[in-house]
Amino acid sequence: MFRRFAVPVLAALIAVLAVSTATSQVSRVPNSGCPGAPFAQPVGSPAIGQGFGIIAPQCRSAAGQQFILIGAPQRPVLLPSPPACVRGCTLDVNAFTGVSGGAWRTLIPNRPALVGLCFRVQTGCIERTANGACINMHGALDVCITR
């Protein structure tokens, strides 16, 4: 189920957007997340006046809980293992907000000043293990707003 964000959250998103020279509306961030991790699926178009969303990949276990982080691009932060499920997992977003669950959707305002602004989205799962829980990060996506 998609969750709608209120205007204040979208305003916060716009406040942390970073200008990028990316040529694609949505692009995968190479070597992000855990080794061999899947990437989230974009839905819709990140164009002004359009709806856009993210669907997170399934967790490894049925008991896993999906989450979505939204914010500005950052250099990869290597997560220690634990809390990461495996070695080599990175956090690649300077998150200002997070969504519990596997889907997020918003409407990009029809404001031409937003064209060319970019943000980063990274999904993951909190997996249940015999020893408690661990974090499994998926690959990050750079999203650039277009006309």
pLDDT at 17 (0 to 100): 41
Q: Predicted confidence band at 24 (pLDDT cuts at 50, 70, 90)?
A: low
Tell whether the model's pLDDT for residue 125 goes beyond 70: yes
Quote the CA–CA distance of 128 and 107 in Å, as a whole number.
Answer: 33
User: Residue 24's domain spans which residues?
Assistant: 7-144
The closest alpha carbon to 97, from 106, 85, 109, belongs to 106
pLDDT at 101 (0 to 100): 92
Instruction: With respect to residue 67, please indicate whether it lies within any of the assigned structural domains.
Output: yes
Counting the structural domains of the chain, the total is: 1
Instruction: With respect to residue 64, please indicate whether it lies within any of the assigned structural domains.
Output: yes
- Read off the pLDDT of each residue in 102-108 and give the average, rounded to a whole number: 93
Instruction: With respect to residue 99, please indicate whether it lies within any of the assigned structural domains.
Output: yes
* Report field, pTM of the whole predicted structure over 0.85: no
pLDDT at 61 (0 to 100): 86
Tell whether the model's pLDDT for residue 25 goes beyond 70: yes
What tens digit of pLDDT does each residue of 32-72 get? 999 999 999 999 999 999 999 999 999 988 889 999 999 99
Give residues with Cβ within 8 angstroms of 84, minimum separation 6: 34, 134, 135, 136, 137
Instruction: With respect to residue 73, please indicate whether it lies within any of the assigned structural domains.
Output: yes
User: Which stretch of 20-24, 61-65, 132-136, 139-143 has the lowest confidence by average pLDDT?
Assistant: 20-24
